[in-house]
Homo-oligomer: A and B are copies of this chain.
């Protein structure tokens, strides 16, 4: 059994990790930590876990010591030091935060206002979006787990961009996220009466996931991709829908695009390419690690419209982190993640 440690276990990504690891046949939770709730039981913070996980939150050091792999769900800036400690101790480290996601320190400085504390450490890290970078993850010990928007947006158009079927200029990612993406801390914007029956964009063209999506699309295309990314807040608990718009290249037919998607995703268990006429719906991937993708043609403007739906807390956070753990430890990637999304 893989011994799992979770740092930041009482945040939403952390507690979701606990839920998924509990059902994982090859891993078990060795220790959890939380700055806010140190000394308290997880089930006191989340009563739904009563009798299923009554572990007490310890400190980070205890977690590192007791675990083979440490998952960190921390505010950005705090993972670099922890990551170093884990790697130095020979442990695997999977970071659900942003510290290791961007390869360019300049971009990290621009969007997060920080710097790389240990450049060698960053050089060892790998970006953990398995559908694209599986081969690079194998054998690594330091994984930067992607963000939620940055998982579904590239998954929506990868086959088209990899095969050079769309223009890389002018791509628009119009994304809509459930409110768990904003975390557990109550705010005016997440206060029930003010979010319920509401819907709005936020951080228009200025969200920190922008350079991360661009980094992935640039790698996939071999070009320098700049996108327009606009996130919106949905009055639902879970899920992200990315609606991505791109110009189809002259001479490329929609049938070619569909075939490219079919081929690209034919062996990807977690990506479900929907039939023509169906639209990806966040309702259908909740609580699971699936990404449902639907593609659509606007023949009048000759655009590709690609929709990708994920559960922001599973494929967009905890589930993908476990998928990365499975790869690192040589398990079948699906282990512990074959979950039927509930019908309601």
A253-271 contacts to B, CB under 8 A, are 269
Which residues from chain B contact A237 at a C-beta distance below 8 Å? Answer: 192-193, 196-197, 344
Of A56-64, A65-73, A293-301, the one contacting chain B is: A293-301
- CB of B53 within 8 A of CB of A201, answer no
A-to-B contact residues, CB < 8 Å: 12, 15-16, 18-19, 22-23, 46-53, 170, 172, 174, 176, 178-180, 184-188, 190-202, 204-205, 210, 226-228, 230, 232, 234-239, 241, 243, 245, 247, 269, 272, 274, 278-288, 292, 294, 296-301, 303, 305, 307, 309, 313, 338-344
- CB of B301 within 8 A of CB of A228, answer yes
- CB of A194 within 8 A of CB of B232, answer no
- CB of A230 within 8 A of CB of B305, answer yes
CB distance from A13 to the nearest CB of B (A): 11
Nearest chain-B residue to A45 (Cβ)?
Answer: B343
Which residues from chain B contact A48 at a C-beta distance below 8 Å? Answer: 283-286, 288, 340-343
Cβ contacts A to B, 23 pairs, < 8 Å? A47-B281, A48-B284, A48-B342, A51-B272, A172-B172, A174-B245, A179-B192, A186-B187, A186-B188, A192-B196, A193-B237, A197-B237, A198-B281, A198-B282, A199-B283, A200-B309, A201-B305, A205-B296, A205-B299, A205-B305, A226-B301, A232-B243, A245-B245
Pairs A-B, 6 closest by C-beta atoms: A198-B283, A205-B298, A200-B281, A186-B186, A48-B284, A204-B296
CB distance from A170 to the nearest CB of B (A): 7
Nearest chain-B residue to A201 (Cβ)?
Answer: B279
- CB of B239 within 8 A of CB of A197, answer yes
User: Number of copies of this chain in the oligomer?
Assistant: 4
- CB of B301 within 8 A of CB of A227, answer yes
CB distance from A339 to the nearest CB of B (A): 8
- CB of A197 within 8 A of CB of B230, answer no
Which residues from chain B contact A234 at a C-beta distance below 8 Å? Answer: 199, 234-235
CA distance A18 to B19 in the complex (A): 21
- CB of A278 within 8 A of CB of B47, answer yes
- CB of A238 within 8 A of CB of B197, answer yes
